[in-house]
Amino acid sequence: DAKTTQPPSMDCAEGRAANLPCNHSTISGNEYVYWYRQIHSQGPQYIIHGLKNNETNEMASLIITEDRKSSTLILPHATLRDTAVYYCIPRSPRDDKIIFGKGTRLHILP
Amino acid sequence: GAVVSQHPSWVICKSGTSVKIECRSLDFQATTMFWYRQFPKQSLMLMATSNEGSKATYEQGVEKDKFLINHASLTLSTLTVTSAHPEDSSFYICSARVPLAGDQPQHFGDGTRLSIL
């Protein structure tokens, strides 16, 4: 499994875009990048995933560098409810297991 | 979308008792489910893989006689913490995904907070 590096914590002002980086320099060719978040005392929530191309859904956008060694999750207009721990997880479709790293604790400031 | 439900949400019990936690896939059949444990201010730690109709696969360091897993149907896996002690107090979370669904994501339950007195 590819290892990831994420900043331990970040702050973002409410209403601004939150950009969460993830380094996954050892990602292999068939591994997608998945992003989950965990709000306090809840189970992880799936946000978005991608392989090579940038992706967007109703929750967020995912920007993956051309060499696939890093990615950025973008929450376009952060709200207080986006305060959570965000996890970046490379995973191959053949593997069902998800191994969590330490993630980034995002604080949205009023 | 795929929904995973856990029950109970929280449980408090006395030391020495056994506690059963249920994980259900509500709108799909899951041949494989996963159990995680999370201590305060730490990340989720994978405990075991629950396989429908066969024995669970435990991660290194997880006592299989302590944490009994049963996956008797395609929509239900149970985790039983046997002879629970205060150090077993934790947040237990399960996950599953639609089988053979390519890159589709895992979905997680809302977790069970276990407190052993």
Q: What is the pLDDT of residues A15-39, one digit of tens each?
A: 999 999 999 999 999 999 999 999 9
Q: What was the pLDDT predicted at B103? A: 87
Q: How is residue A10 written in tokens?
A: 């970040």
Please tell me the least confidently modeled range out of A36-50, A54-68, B91-105.
B91-105
Chain A hits for B37, Cβ within 8 Å = none
Beta strands in chain B (DSSP E): 4-7, 10-13, 19-25, 32-38, 45-51, 57-58, 67-73, 76-81, 90-96, 107-108, 112-116
Chain A hits for B111, Cβ within 8 Å = 41-43
Q: What percent of chain B has pLDDT over 70?
A: 98
pLDDT tens readout for residues B40-80: 999 999 999 999 888 999 999 999 999 999 998 999 999 99
CB contact under 8 A, A97 and B113: no
A89-109: average pLDDT: 92
Chain A hits for B113, Cβ within 8 Å = 41
Q: In angstroms, what separates the C-alpha of B18 from chain A's closest C-alpha?
A: 23
Q: What was the pLDDT predicted at A102? A: 94
CB contact under 8 A, B43 and A34: no
Q: In angstroms, what separates the C-alpha of B109 from chain A's closest C-alpha?
A: 6
Go through B33-46 and write b for each residue having 16 or more CB atoms within 10 A of its CB, e for each that does not: bbbbbbeeeeebbb
pLDDT tens readout for residues A62-96: 999 999 999 999 999 999 999 999 999 999 888 87
Q: What was the pLDDT predicted at A55? A: 97
pLDDT bucket at A11, cuts 50 / 70 / 90: very high
A45-61: average pLDDT: 96
For the beta carbon of residue A110, count every other beta carbon within 10 angstroms. 7
Chain A hits for B95, Cβ within 8 Å = 43-44, 98
CB contact under 8 A, A102 and B45: no
Task: Please report the number of interchain residue pairs, chain A to chain B, with beta-carbon separation below 8 angstroms.
Answer: 55
Q: What was the pLDDT predicted at B1? A: 61
Q: What percent of chain B has pLDDT over 90?
A: 82
CB contact under 8 A, A98 and B95: yes
Instruction: Give the HSE-up count for residue A70: Cα atoms under 13 Å, Cβ half-sphere.
Output: 9
CB contact under 8 A, B34 and A45: no
Q: How is residue B11 written in tokens?
A: 């449980």
CB contact under 8 A, A93 and B102: yes
Q: What was the pLDDT predicted at A2? A: 65
A76 DSSP assignment: S
Average pLDDT, chain B: 93
Handedness of CA A49, A87, A82, B25 (dihedral sign): positive
Q: What was the pLDDT predicted at A70? A: 97
CB contact under 8 A, A44 and B102: no
For the beta carbon of residue B98, count every other beta carbon within 10 angstroms. 18
Q: In angstroms, what separates the C-alpha of B14 from chain A's closest C-alpha?
A: 22
Q: Which chain A residue is nearest to residue B10, measuring alpha carbons?
A: A41
CB contact under 8 A, B103 and A51: yes
Q: How is residue B6 written in tokens?
A: 């856990």
